Chains A and B, each alone.
Chain A
Amino acid sequence: MTVIHDADGNELGSVPLTEKQQAVLDAGGSIDVLYHTPQLMRAALGTRSGSFSLQQDGDRLLTSTPAAVKDYTQLRAAVAAVKAREAS
């Protein structure tokens, strides 16, 4: 998991990066992250989707679309809650 910050340095959330994405960031490029409600959880969570872009700035991962990152973070928390409910 890599922590994402906004331009002011505020922590917005975190995202798991793949080695391919990390390589692009390490090379100074930016990546677009797509997110959506997992299909098997749509009944519980509704249908949400979006995207945000990320860029490495020193040791920080920055986004220029903080609202989308927050939306993704909320979705992730909801997914985790559903999984926890299913597991219990």
Chain B
Amino acid sequence: MPMAKVPVAWGEWRPDVATLDTQFANDVENVFPGSNSYLPVPSLAPFSDAVVPPPPSTERIVGLFSARATTGEWKIYAGTPTKLFTWTMLAGWSELGTGYHVPEGELWSFAQFGKWVVAVQIGDLPVRADVDGGGTFATFGAPIAHNVRTIGDFLILGGLASNRRKIMWSAINDITGWTIGLNLCDEQEMPDGGPVMGLAGDKVGFIVQDRAVSLLQFLPGDITFIFSISKIVYDRGSVSEYGFTSIGDNLYLLCEDGFYAVSQGNLTPIGHEKVNDWFLANSDPGRRNVIQAITAVKPYIFWAYHSSPGTPVGYYDSVILFNWTNGRWARMKVNAQMWATVATVNLDLDTTGSEPGDALLDSTARSLDSFAYMGGRPRVAAVDPAGYLVDLTGPNLQATLESGEAHLSPGTRAMVGDVYPLADGVDGVIYDGFRERLQDDVQWTQAFPIEITGSAAVYNSARLHRFRHIIPRDTKWTHAQGVVVDAQQDGTVA
């Protein structure tokens, strides 16, 4: 039998299904899922020289948010369990509030309402600060609650301290109005469904509970009912107060048994027979209550999580990400204390400013493609374990792509010759995972470098093969589609 060129695509990552002789990938790490390829994930690069909290404090960050001033300028806010800070390019981090008591296992919940940024957590009364005028955070009459969301002309608190099944909304267009029965301020108690984990959406709002999801729609002109509340999901809800997000009128959430989307009142499983079982087996059950969902600028949703009980306290070490346009998944191994979509004012490129790192263009610590020079563009950002503001603009992370297992020559062993990766970053190495029987453990060859021919000379014989391509960190590449394998029948298994 002559040598055949056998294409092996990386395919969709679906670790929950059997991948033998399928088009599905066994593993994909540090890549974004495209429609017919995987794309590189940049590493986190600092765009600030200042750490939060400023030394000597060593508290961890439990809140990160970006708000926009009336002028259009972006402001960044972060919180520790006891303090709130704001960041500017000029001044770094400045303390805007202290003396708070965010309990262990809770995070700050932020919302913007007009010129106010509101910060809520269950340990203290909600506080607000003026995004336009600056100033410190101060209470404003709202009751203690777990979380906050702006929906239409109302600021809505979820999971009240007095009753976690309650939500309460402010007076219309007035976040200092918290007298129930005045100016449309009121509260509602969910009769069942467990604690309110939070709110999402806007025109179509969502009340997300532990075991239910309800729609929340404003009834303009109705002083009596104000909002229409109708339960649409009866037996599932979010495991985390921070583990859901909405895009348009669609809600994406992590439930006890995996990932779901709620769209037009319908619950759709988006992780079943894809990543649910893998995720539940590879995440720390004890810290699922703080899993964080972030809506990226591109069509991705990030869920940041702790991969095991051994993950250190203080930062997430993993992200599972979902491309909501094509329903595909991938994962990242990145450490970050807190994630958020943020934007900032730009650092100008002249060399006369007083901004740190701007005095001498040729000696600045930042590269010219740093996020610091791109003001007003929202990005997925984070606070890294060292306390630096970072965003996904660094050199590409090391990527790992692993195919499903295949009988390259059905019924016989297959001799694999050259393996030609379909990726425009030609660096990297190829491994061949092989075994003779499905009952055997998979063995891996040594790493074969990709040579000047663009192929790796693997030369290995077995009945079953799978391939792994590792693209090193810092490699510039745009798409990885799979490999083309030179395979030849190599006799039967004796």
Contact = CB atoms under 8 A, between A and B. Distances in A.
Interface string B221-237: 00111100000000000
A18 B171 contact: yes
Given A19-B176, A20-B174, A21-B174, A39 B182 contact: no
A35 B187 CA distance: 14
A34 B187 contact: no
Contact of A34 (B188, B223, B225): B223
A33 B174 CA distance: 12
B171 A35 contact: no
B196 to A, nearest CB: 15
A15 B188 CA distance: 22
Contacts of B172: 34
Interface in B368-426: none
A84 interface: no
Contacts of A47: 224
Interface residues of B, number: 21
B177 A39 contact: no
B225 A39 contact: yes
Interface in B228-257: none
Given A47-B224, A49-B224, A38 B176 contact: no
Main secondary structure of the interface of B (DSSP, over half): loop
A36 B187 contact: no
Contacts, number: 55
A76 B180 CA distance: 10
Interface of B: 141, 171-174, 176-177, 179-184, 186-189, 223-226
B182 A33 contact: yes
Main secondary structure of the interface of A (DSSP, over half): mixed
Contact of B183 (A33, A37, A76, A79): A33
Given A16-B182, A34-B223, A79-B181, A39 B176 contact: no
A18 B176 contact: yes
A37 B182 contact: no
A39 B179 contact: no
B168 to A, nearest CB: 10
A44 interface: no
A25 interface: no
Contacts of B189: 40
Given A34-B184, A35-B182, A36-B223, 11 more contacts: A18-B183, A20-B173, A34-B223, A36-B181, A36-B224, A38-B180, A38-B186, A40-B188, A75-B181, A79-B180, A79-B181
